[in-house]
């Protein structure tokens, strides 16, 4: 499968498929495709995977697309202003992503639910208690709010991230929370009571904005707020 990403800040990823190749996506993500593309809607991965998607607030059903009678192409569009980030998944290196990050993937990529082992990180971190894990072999396309920034953390290296700005990390990384120091900082600093701490080794992808922050900015200028 080859692909190109077009049209930021509301991008699409256009995938070029040979016979025998296919793509899996959330329903409603397709924006255009060649006439020979076929579609099948199903609870892919069995009921266990479908239940996992329901827990992570994704649709139980997914669409599978493949070309018939020759090569074909299909484009998947993002749901918000931002970026589409391609990630290569291997059996040796699965990834963990926000529960709303998945856009599309090759058929060799497998989906499962990832539960935060540390309750504090799940309840107070902006990424949530339930996340998504992608394993297997192939490319998965992740939706990013705003721009994507990739970093590689060495073993034991840490980074503090504002809650909600971590899009994905290698499964070799770990995540926790750390309280903001000082009562005045907590109450008046505007950064909340805690930050997400990500510890290496592994790569992470950060997003420059979050949808809740955009929603709050819009709400602040709506009539009747002042």
Q: What is the pLDDT along the chain (226 residues), one digit of tens a residue?
A: 999 999 978 999 999 999 999 999 987 899 999 999 999 998 765 555 555 555 555 667 889 999 999 999 999 998 888 999 999 999 999 999 988 899 999 999 998 888 765 544 444 444 555 788 999 999 999 999 999 999 999 999 999 998 889 999 999 999 888 776 554 444 444 455 578 899 999 999 999 988 777 777 777 777 766 5
> CA 53, CA 62: separation in Å to the nearest integer?
10
Q: In Å, what is the CA distance from 156 to each residue of 68, 125, 174, 175, 200?
A: 49, 20, 10, 12, 5
Tell me what pLDDT residue 187 has: 42
Question: Biggest alpha carbon distance in the chain?
Answer: 66
* Beta carbons of 67 and 19 less than 8 angstroms apart: yes
Q: What pTM did the predictor assign? A: 0.83
Predicted pLDDT of residue 83:
93
Residue whose token pair is 């750390």: 178
CA atoms within 13 A on the CB side of 218: 6
- Which domains can be identified in the chain, with CATH numbers? 2-215 (3.60.160.10)
Alpha carbon distances (Å) from 64 to 38, 105, 181, 195, 198 = 8, 10, 48, 38, 34
Cis status of the peptide bond prior to 110, with omega within 30 of 0: no
**What does the pLDDT read at residue 124?**
47
Element (H, E) at 25: strand 23-26
Cα–Cα distance, 62 to 32 (Å, whole number): 17
Residue 11: its pLDDT value, please? 94
Partner residues linked to 74 by β-bridges: 15, 33
Q: Could you tell me if 170 and 204 are in contact, meaning their C-beta atoms sit under 8 angstroms apart? A: yes
């Amino acid at each position: 499968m080859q692909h190109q990403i077009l049209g930021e800040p509301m991008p699409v990823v256009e995938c070029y498929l040979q016979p025998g190749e296919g793509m899996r996506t959330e329903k409603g993500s397709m924006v255009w495709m060649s006439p020979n593309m076929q579609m099948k809607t199903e609870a892919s991965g069995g009921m266990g995977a479908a239940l996992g998607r329901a827990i992570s607030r994704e649709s139980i059903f997914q669409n599978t697309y493949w070309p018939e009678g020759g090569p074909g192409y299909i484009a998947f569009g993002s749901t918000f202003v931002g970026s589409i980030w391609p990630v290569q998944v291997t059996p040796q290196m699965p990834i963990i992503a926000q529960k709303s990050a998945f856009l599309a993937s090759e058929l060799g990529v497998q989906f499962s639910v990832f539960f935060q082992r540390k309750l504090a990180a799940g309840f107070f971190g902006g990424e949530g208690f339930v996340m998504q894990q992608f394993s297997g072999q192939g490319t998965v396309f992740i939706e990013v709010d705003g721009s994507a920034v990739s970093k590689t953390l060495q073993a034991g290296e840490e980074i503090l991230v504002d809650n909600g700005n971590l899009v994905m990390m290698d499964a070799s990384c770990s995540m926790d929370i750390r309280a903001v120091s000082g009562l005045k900082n907590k109450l008046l600093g505007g950064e909340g009571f805690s930050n997400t701490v990500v510890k290496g080794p592994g790569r992470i992808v950060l997003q420059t904005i979050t949808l809740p922050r955009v929603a709050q900015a819009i709400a602040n200028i709506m009539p009747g707020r002042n």
